[in-house]
Amino acid sequence: MDYEYAPLRLPPNVDRMTATAQLAIQAEFSGWELARVRLFRDGTRQVVLRRRVVNQSQPGLSY
């Protein structure tokens, strides 16, 4: 399976509940899922979202 990735960086002033709500909205309406979260000492979160790449075939010719 092929995935596309979207890296995000959340500043330290964003609390955990707000970050969870933002990521849930992205998952619900855009099809993203959580791939990785890194929490740094300064409180910054580095989040990587992923979703499957959908290969849509070209429509065939009609005669």
What is the average pLDDT value for the chain, to the nearest integer?
86
**pTM of the complete model:** 0.73
Which SS3 state, helix, strand or coil, does residue 30 take?
helix
Q: How far is CA 26 from CA 11, 30, 48, in A?
A: 17, 5, 12
Average pLDDT over residues 10-26: 90
Separation of alpha carbons 46 and 9, rounded Å: 5
25-50: per-residue pLDDT in tens?
888 888 889 999 999 999 999 999 99
Least reliable range by pLDDT among 5-14, 38-47, 49-58:
49-58
